[in-house]
A and B are shown apart, each in its own frame.
Chain A
Amino acid sequence: MIVVERLSGGYEGVPIVKDVSFTVEKGKILGILGPNGSGKSTLLKVISGILPATTGTILLDGKDMKAYNARTLAKKMAVLPQLHANAFSNTVREAVSLGRYPHQTGFFSSWSELDERAVQYAMAQTGVTRYEHTPMEILSGGEQQRVFVAQALAQTAEILLLDEPTNHLDIAHQRQILDMVRKEALECGLTVIMVLHDMNLASLYCDELLLMENGCMRAIGAPHEVLIASQIEEVYQARVATYAHPEIPKPQITMMPAASKHQQRAVIVKEDFKITTDYIQLKSNIPLKTVSSAVHNPGIGWYDCLVNRSVAGDYIIKDVKREVAEFLQREHFSLTSTVVMLTAVSTELVALNEYKAPFGGIFVVVTAGVGKAVDVSRTHERQDEPYIGTINTWVVINGCLSEEAFFQAMMTANEAKTKALQSENIRDELTNTIATGTATDSLLIAATQKGAEMLYGGPITDVGKIIGKGVFETTVQAIRNYKMKHRS
């Protein structure tokens, strides 16, 4: 455990780090973040005793750091600074063995079993065992970095200070080093303080983060308490946005590049839509931010091609992912920038309408197969196998939506769809109640993200109103097209 209390210090009596206090419990990892020149590395140097502390105390397991001499301190606390190659050649093994220096005492002390085990363990943990006899200068920067991590690990100290341990490493080796550090913390109770440049890595691996600004503490706490977009923007003077990590509950941060001056035409026009016998397609000049429940490329993403593909009623739904990929390759669509929906309705029954609005306007595209409509409040009575329904709805917006506006727009559109089924008196055949949709409806909201951002997309907002009206009218029209076809 390390306790830092009101610590100030720096070069030649000029405090660069001012009044920093924190505690890292045994087995925990503290990440130090901050812009260049915010005093991260200086703080680490003051803690490791390389630079003098002008005021404040550092307690290692309750004992003042000043009470340790160089050797006993090195047994307690290992440090990995940012390193550079030296002029003489060592083998990897020799370099790692130096980590045992503080444990070798006396005039003739020899290499013990314990020393050997620590070195072997450190090399194995960092994956450098296979370079054991290779001279350091032959290794790449990343490999050298791992050797230095091994050197610090061989010290078998209880506290480990790391200054940008992932410098020069590719993501596989970043992961290896940081996984190893976390494992040592969890399983062996290693207490870790590390300076990291990469906020996302810091968020993933640290229990707590300390954000530095101009040598002072700006924030300290769990990653989600520190990595707040507005705070990061202020400290780093750069536009950022936060998002959730796909697998673990830690926030991630991404920067927002300055907008380019040369923008292509950023408006969707009716001519961008194309209807063939196989599919309805929208090909955009710019990628659209898209939220959808499509078959191919669902979820949130940026895509410039939307396809609503008509398939036969007996289409085998089980192998759909692979079959759609094959279809895209066959038709020369891009696998990564195309969103695909499937419908059992033929493409000539599509309803496509444009609605103008002050912010730009929207297009609504609907294909509605309502032969197998269901009442969602009664579907628990059914035991059907999955099949293709389907009401597919696209809402393409010439405008800019916030995250919540996207989801509100989806709700608004879906409510309008249900209302259309009600007004057309579409019924669930099994229960004879008003249907709310079909079993496999798909909805897509796409926006150009140009113009002023619309924060909300609920039913009484500018965009919500036009979505409500547009989706209702267009769905009604599509249902009538369907009915007309199936009546004749």
Chain B
Amino acid sequence: MSRIVFAYVTAITLLIISIWCGVSIGSVHIPLEVLWNKAADETAANILWKIRMPRVMLAGLVGASLAIAGAAFQGLLKNPLADPYTLGVSSGASVGAVMTLFFGISIPVVGLYALPIFSMIGAVLTMVAVMTFARLVDRSLKMETLILTGVIFSSFLGSLISLMIALTGEELRQIIGWLLGSVSMRGWPYVQMIAPFVVIGSLMLWTQRRELNVLLYGEERAKHLGVNVKRSKYLILAGGSMLTGAAVAVSGTIGFVGLVVPHMTRMIWGSDHRHLLPLSFFNGATLLIICDLVARTIIMPRELPIGVITAFIGAPVFSYIFYKQRRSKGVRV
């Protein structure tokens, strides 16, 4: 038990440190004291509260969402390579988001939330389509089949987005940069836009933490052990898609966070979902805050899209997991 306490203490400590680094490091250094004393340095306080803090918060929420969704998808599909990005769910969410902008859709009551809602719908539909198609190809849903299907859907959906962009004028060009994945220049409204969905989606997944542990042994075994498999599956897919949709709506497609974070967490702290889910949540936030920090400082004064950094870390990790899974015997492939 103390090991697990240590895991949480470490994760939260790292998160606090990363938040502090995220808000203080940059072209203008921000001293610590402005956090509680605005008067100490008016300009610095403005930069901190108006620019850097929302950016760090957004990065944290996006990272946390993608990581916990990835952990849940991997558990449900018993597939260590599954994450919102590799499954094509992120692309689906992007299509939803771009369509909202393209057609100028707005729903009176939801207002600000139209964008994330359509992203989520895109995510859910893609998830269903990918799963259905993969199952048609191969009933046993092998690891490779699912990922390959995800890649195919990603390409297809990507081309849809390109088409939509080509058909519009200048105003959507900016979307290209956004699609590459970025959390810059978003501000507090975006944090508000995503926050409720992050909370609801994460809670949905967290209620399924024990079911996920059992589902690792397959749906049949889970049924034997008394899991309402259908309900669990819907909750996990819905929760994961909600988190992915919300993340994509505010930051575009940021790849591999949902792959790298759960994998690292599992490697260090074990694959008990009761802890894997919350730990992935915290660690995902930490990782994306740090990635964003690197993205905006490494070639200052210019910025890299954050997706570049995550892919730079994520692709090798993906290769490593794939290699290890294929090499180790006794693993279903």
Q: Which residues of A contact B (CB under 8 A)?
A: 48-50, 69-75, 78-79, 81, 83-91, 94, 98-99, 101-102, 104, 107, 137, 155
Contacts and interface: CB of A to CB of B under 8 A. Distances in A.
Interface in B132-173: 143
A72 B228 CA distance: 11
Interface in B182-227: 207, 210-211, 213-214, 216-218, 220-221, 223-227
Given A88-B75, A89-B271, A75 B226 contact: yes
Contacts of A155: 225
A84 B271 contact: no
A85 B331 CA distance: 6
Nearest to A90: B271
Given A85-B332, A87-B80, A88-B78, A99 B225 contact: yes
Given A70-B226, A88-B271, A101 B210 contact: yes
B17 to A, nearest CB: 29
A87 B78 contact: yes
Interface residues on B, range: 20 to 34
Given A86-B217, A101-B210, A101-B226, 18 more contacts: A48-B224, A49-B223, A50-B224, A70-B223, A70-B227, A74-B224, A83-B218, A87-B79, A87-B143, A87-B325, A87-B332, A89-B270, A89-B271, A98-B213, A98-B214, A98-B217, A102-B225, A104-B210
Contacts of A75: 226
Contact of B78 (A49, A79, A86, A101): A86
Contacts of B331: 85-87, 137
Nearest to B228: A70
B266 interface: yes
Contacts of B217: 83, 86, 98
Given A71-B226, A155-B225, A88 B266 contact: yes
B332 A84 contact: yes
Nearest to B225: A101
27 contacts: A48-B224, A50-B220, A69-B228, A70-B228, A70-B229, A72-B226, A79-B224, A81-B220, A81-B221, A81-B224, A83-B221, A84-B218, A85-B330, A86-B78, A86-B217, A87-B79, A88-B78, A88-B216, A88-B266, A90-B270, A91-B270, A98-B214, A99-B225, A101-B211, A101-B214, A104-B210, A155-B225
Nearest to B220: A50
Contact of B332 (A86, A99, A102): A86
Contacts of A91: 270
A133 to B, nearest CB: 11
B41 interface: no
**When A and B form their complex, which 5 residue pairs have the shortest distance between CB atoms, in order from nearest?**
A74-B226, A102-B226, A79-B224, A71-B226, A88-B271
B42 interface: no
Contacts of B228: 69-71
Contacts of A50: 220, 223-224
A98 B225 contact: yes
A69 B228 CA distance: 8
Contacts, number: 85
A88 B207 contact: no
Contacts of A107: 207
Contacts of B218: 83-84, 86
A302 to B, nearest CB: 41
Given A81-B220, A83-B217, A137-B328, A88 B225 contact: no
Interface string B58-100: 0000000000000000110011100000000000000000000
B284 to A, nearest CB: 18
Interface in B220-249: 220-221, 223-229
A79 B227 CA distance: 13
B272 interface: yes
Contacts of B216: 86, 88, 90
Contacts of A81: 220-221, 224
Contacts of A98: 213-214, 217, 225
Contacts of B328: 137
Contacts of B211: 101
Most-contacted residue by chain A among B225, B330, B331 (CB, 10 A): B225
A265 B66 CA distance: 78
Interface in B310-333: 325, 328, 330-332
A98 B75 CA distance: 15
Contacts of B227: 70-71, 101
A90 B271 CA distance: 6
A84 B220 CA distance: 12
A299 to B, nearest CB: 45
Contacts of A73: 226
Nearest to B328: A137
Nearest to A45: B220
A367 to B, nearest CB: 63
A71 B225 CA distance: 7
A91 to B, nearest CB: 7
Contacts of A49: 223
